[in-house]
């Protein structure tokens, strides 16, 4: 596995691989890797010959009062995990390498970014799309793999690629969970023991909604309010939103269907967690809870 920090080096190594006929895959991450990230590597390996992982905590996607400074980092551990999963190339640039000066041009979403997570994180998705567009420009991957865990992000990236005619296939892989159902996240490291115990209520509430949907419940308003009741009953779970939206266009729905995504954001202590489930096709980790 190669670790490179400079854009010119990535271009050189990837360019050579491409000239040799290899398909290039990219898995963008902010590091502090867990099994969720590594599952994207596995999927990427199925779809490409050279797997590039980027590790970069992107300042552009953090709001002024968010956790940029405290975001967990452990490059040594990340490199060992990436190597263990047969990543070919890790691209871990310094801030100055990607942003030598404040960018003049950014990728700003016009729609779909003002709801769900975008409502409480203004500018967040502009930061995400800008860094992903830059990584696509640097690596020029044939395929790039993202997680369903951040499903609004995945939808926006798919829209960006389509709107800007980028020549990359975007693949979305299922959410990977802890055995009790909690969606894996680098931010889980912030949780105290007590908070961790409460955090499981989010995936449990989603599993309840999937089970209710399977039993025939189609009233999205009722599913949402029942989820709130369940989360409120736990105590110390400060719900930001519970939304039922169409997986295609993120439009809120009143009648739940197989492609409806139930999405939750909640604060537990100072940690903001998100999770979601497709009602008709839940990820295996959630389906196991039913
Ligand atoms: P992050 O490092 O949090 O920016 O995430 C990098 C990529 O990993 C994104 O595409 C995320 O959606 C994905 N990811 C994060 N957590 C999970 C998870 N539990 N399961 C699957 N993918 C995930």
pTM for this one? 0.98
Residue 52 is predicted with a pLDDT of 99
Q: Is 40 in the pocket of ligand 1 (CB under 6 A)?
A: yes
Domains, in order of start, for the chain:
2-173 (3.40.50.620), 186-287 (3.30.1300.10)
CA of 276 to the centre of ligand 1 (A): 13
Residues identified as active-site: 37
Which residue, among 237, 170, 173, has the nearest Cα to 203 in the 3D structure? 237
pLDDT tens-digit readout, 25-60: 999 999 999 999 999 999 999 999 999 999 999 999
Residues of the chain with pLDDT under 50: none
Residue 167 is predicted with a pLDDT of 98
Cβ count within 10 A of residue 258:
10
* Atom 13 of ligand 1: nearest residue by CA position: 147
Q: Is 26 in the pocket of ligand 1 (CB under 6 A)?
A: no
CA of 267 to the centre of ligand 1 (A): 18
Q: State the DSSP string of 96-164.
A: HHH-SS--S------SSSSSTHHHHSTTHHHHHHHHHHHHHHHH--SEEEEEGGGHHHHHHHHHHHHHT
Residue 279 is predicted with a pLDDT of 98
Atom of ligand 1 nearest to the CA of 146: 10
Q: Is 128 in the pocket of ligand 1 (CB under 6 A)?
A: no
DSSP, collapsed to helix, strand or coil, labels residue 1 as coil
Residue 75 is predicted with a pLDDT of 98
Q: Is 184 in the pocket of ligand 1 (CB under 6 A)?
A: yes
């Amino acid at each position: 596995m190669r670790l490179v920090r400079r854009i010119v080096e990535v271009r050189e190594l990837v360019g050579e691989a491409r000239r040799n006929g290899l398909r290039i895959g990219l898995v963008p991450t902010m590091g502090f890797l867990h099994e969720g990230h590594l599952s994207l590597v596995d999927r990427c390996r199925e779809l490409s010959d050279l797997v590039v992982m980027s590790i970069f905590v992107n300042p552009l996607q953090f709001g002024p009062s968010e956790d940029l400074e405290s975001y967990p980092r452990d490059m040594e551990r990340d490199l060992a995990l990436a190597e263990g999963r047969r990543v070919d190339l890790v691209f871990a640039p310094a801030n100055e390498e990607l942003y030598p000066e404040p960018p003049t041009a950014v990728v700003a979403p016009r729609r779909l970014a003002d709801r769900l997570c975008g409502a409480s994180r203004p500018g967040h998705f502009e930061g995400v799309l800008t860094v992903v567009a830059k990584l696509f420009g640097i690596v020029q991957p044939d395929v790039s793999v993202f997680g369903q865990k951040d499903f609004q992000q995945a939808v926006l990236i798919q829209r960006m690629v389509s709107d800007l005619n980028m020549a990359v296939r975007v693949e979305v892989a299922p959410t990977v969970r802890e055995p009790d159902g909690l969606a894996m996240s680098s931010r889980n490291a912030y949780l105290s023991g007590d908070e961790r115990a409460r955090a499981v209520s989010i995936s449990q509430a989603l599993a309840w909604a999937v089970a209710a949907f399977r039993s025939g419940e189609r009233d999205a308003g009722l599913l949402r309010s029942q989820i709130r009741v369940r989360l409120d009953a736990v105590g110390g779970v400060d719900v930001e939103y519970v939304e039922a939206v169409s997986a295609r266009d993120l439009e809120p729905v009143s009648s739940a269907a197989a492609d409806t995504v139930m999405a939750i954001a909640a604060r537990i202590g100072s940690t903001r967690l998100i999770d979601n489930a497709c009602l008709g096709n839940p990820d295996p980790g959630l389906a196991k809870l039913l």
